[in-house]
Every structure is written in structure tokens, then in C-alpha cells.
Structure 1
Amino acid sequence: MAVTIAALLLIELYLDTPLYRLLQPAILSPGEGALVSLPLVVQWDGPPRLALSLHGDDGSPRDLGLQRSPFELTAADLPEPGIYRLKVRAPFFGALIQSERRFAVAAASPTPSPSPVAEPRLTKLNASLSALKAEREQSEAENAALNEELAALRQENNVLVQELDRIGKESEEVASRAAAQRERQAQLAQENQTLNDQVNVLQYRLSAALTCTVWGYYAYPHPQTFPPTRRIVTVSDVQGTVFRTELGCEEVRRTDPTVASRCFCLGTPLAMGN
């Protein structure tokens, strides 16, 4: 059986039939003679699982084991720059099913050392950066302190606004009570004046129980002014005739626009005798 399979493979290899092309791996990367950098991705077309080996300049092989495409080579696999040869082969019939690829690993570009001229400039830049960093930290600290002070001022302002609102409301209440009190005082004064007038009228009427010879009434010469002018006692009409009776006084009083009271007695025989 093994002889038959080997014979078939030899025939496929010799004739380059589709079965040979299917089994024979074709390395896609790296390219032949390519100059590569790390990490290096190895990729092939053909059997998915192959045995890999790496050969350096000295020709000593390094077995990489069975791997699947794609596979990555790192600096641990290629530690030195130079020319390498990568071989891939099938786990079985490796002598027939295999392929290889040569490539070169580029040397890493050395890190340029700072020139003596650049060192003072770099030192100066570092000092400037340190100063800017310190200034920024100081500004941030000052801003934080200002923000705290601003928050405290806002809180204090809110308290003051509330206190002013309370005082304003209390002032409005006090002003309202004072206005009401003044209005009440004016009302009481008016009532007191009315009572005094009524008492005076009653007193004169009481005294008029005797024969009254002179009658009169209170009047305001200029009632349109506010407050009205001082009142006077009217005892005669426009012709100068003295009111000798209550009826004559009432007739004139009803037509007088300045009248401020009813007619009352001003003189009696007893008072005139005194």
C-alpha cells in the first residue's frame, strides 16, 4: 500500500498534476530574497499544517515545530540581522512535499546619540517645562482656592438675600399696620369731632329751653380746601339780619353751601342779662 502511494506521488510530482499542486506548499511571504523587519509573518498556500525549520548563516537548522498559516517570527526567533533560509515540509512524505524561502533580516537602525550642542538646549527646555508645570500647578491651586471662596461668597449671598427678603416683608407688614393705625386715628378723630358737635348741639338745645334770642350755625368759609379752613359761627343772613328764631336760621342754613352743623342757640335772656 505504501509503495502504491509513493508511486502515485512520484507520478504526480513528475507530471505536475492537480494533486501535486494541492499538496505542494507555496510560500506567500516572505518573498524570495526580501529584506524584512520584525516581527515577520510567514504565510503559505497548501496544506494548512506544516513543519517549519529555520537555517541561519552558519547553516545550523532550528526546528520551529508544526505550525499553521499564518505564523509569526519575532526577535526571539531571528535575534541577529543576516540571511536566513526558511523550510516548510509536510509531516509525512516531507522529502516530496516541501518548500523553502531565502530572506534577509535588516539591522535595527541605531538610536542617534544626542549631540553635545543639543544637550544644553534640552536641559533648558526641560527647565522651562518644569517651570511651566510648576506654574500650572500653582495656577490650579489658586483656581481651586478661588472656586472655594466663590462658593462661600455665593452661599453667604444667598443667606443675605433671604434675610433681606424677610426684612422687606416685615417692613411691608409694619408699614401696612402703621397705615391702618393712621387711618383708624383719623377715623376716631372724625368720630370725636362729630360727637363734640353733637354734644354742642345738645347743649345749645338744652339751653334753648329758655327763650332764645340769637341763633346760628357752624360754617366753613372755603369748604373746597383740604383740610377745610377753620370754621366760623354764622348768626345772620347776607343782609346782616340776625337770626332771632330757629326757623329763620334753618331757612338760611339750608341754602348755605358752607354749612357745617345744624342751627343752635347762641343767646338767651339769662345769658344776655349776665
Structure 2
Amino acid sequence: MPEGDAVYRTAKRLRQALDGRRLTRSDFRVPRYATADLRGRTVLTTVSRGKHLLTRVEGGLTVHTHLRMEGSWRVGPAGRPAPRGDVVRLILANIQWQAVGTRLGMVDLVPTDREERVVGHLGPDLLGPDWDAALAVRNLLRAPERTIGEALLDQRDLAGIGTIWRAETLYAARMSPWRPVGSIPQDELEALVTVAHRLMDASKDAPLPVTTGDPRPGRSLLVYGRARRPCRRCGAPVSGGEMGPQPAERLIYWCPACQRD
């Protein structure tokens, strides 16, 4: 699933193509909005909120989308046919550019002043103007029996982290993903969410996540995807597995030698 930094970059691409331009095409291919028509309206902006996208148009309407596991927004010249086999859910276009949303996990059309209906449940956004480390820590502590690895993926606590940023953040902080939240001192939790913010913010404008300073394939990440390979810090084998209740378990990578409980 695309994580907060990838969604941030998607919002940037949509702004570059759509902001300030009048829509000449509006094609909702979801039953609920089959008759919705935004043609003639000017796109005001697109912002990311965690893993969600909000495209605001004049007249007080917002198009809310979520990529889920397989979704994407493809931006290109207006009129370009979508690749065969793509499941197109939404097209927004002006005379110059088009944005084609394929396999989108969520598509909603809501009043702009009621965006909280679709994103109000989210915690502070790691890449947003509302980022609040203290609030993120308070949210994490609401369920102290959870492991920190599970808690970091709860978008109600803080928004934007997925499996990559979970692994990279915990590794950088030398913290085991299996440690119960309630056993972690508050100052360590504050340091942890600060690390998450710093890592994601530093990578938000890169084509792909980078935590090592080396963007080359296979060298860009500290621990994610490195099961059975030597830890970059201590040389011990990296562990990999699944974490969380079935059927919602997610991949996790960590170094048992230097990420202690």
C-alpha cells in the first residue's frame, strides 16, 4: 500500500496538472457517483492527508480518493488512452492534462466543509501542517497493551506510516517492534515519532523511500526487505515475518540483536 510520502508525491503531481485549470472532463466510474459531473469547475488544489487525497474544486466540493493496495493516479497529456487492462475509476482532465485514477480503493464526492466525514478519524499527519508529536504520543498510549509495531500502523494514532516506514523508524530508533506501547517511557515514544517524522520528511520529494542516503536499488533502506541479510549496524542476520491479527497481518523486518525489547 502506498505510504504517506508516496501519497504526498501523488498530490504534488495532481496539483501540477490540475490546479487553477477548468475541468473539461469529469468521469466517475463508480455507481454511487455515475451521474456526478464536475465539468466547468476549476480545480483549486489537491492535498494529502496521511494516505488519503483531497482534490478541492470550486463550488465547495472535494473529491476524496484512497489508493489502498493497488490504486494509482496517472498524470499525462489530455486525451491519452488508458493502458489496456487498467480498471479506471475516475478521470479528471483539462485542455492540457488528464489525471486517471486506476484501481482506486475509495472514491467519494463530499462538501469541502465536511471533509472530516472522510478524514476526521485520522491522527496527526506526519507530512501535514497539523503534525503534532505530543498528540501522536497520546494517541499511541490509548491502547498500551498493543505492540509498538501494531500501533504505528493505526492511522487513528498518526497518519502516513505503512510497513516500510514502520520498519525503518523502529530500526533507526533501536526499538523492537514487539515491545508493548505501555512499557515504553513517554520520552522514548516522543523520540520515536520524531524519528518517523524526520525520516519521512527527508524522503518526501525522492522518487522512492530513502533512509540510507544511497538511492540505488537494494541500498536505499536500512532494514525493510533485508530478511536474512546482515544488519547494517551490527552484522547480525535481519529477521522478517508477519505481525498483527489474521487476516490483517503485515510484513515486519527488524534486527533482534540491536532492536531489543
TM > 0.5 fold call: no
Q: Pick 1 or 2: higher relative contact order, CA cutoff 8 A, min separation 6.
A: 2
Normalising by structure 1, report the TM-score. 0.17
Normalising by structure 2, report the TM-score. 0.18
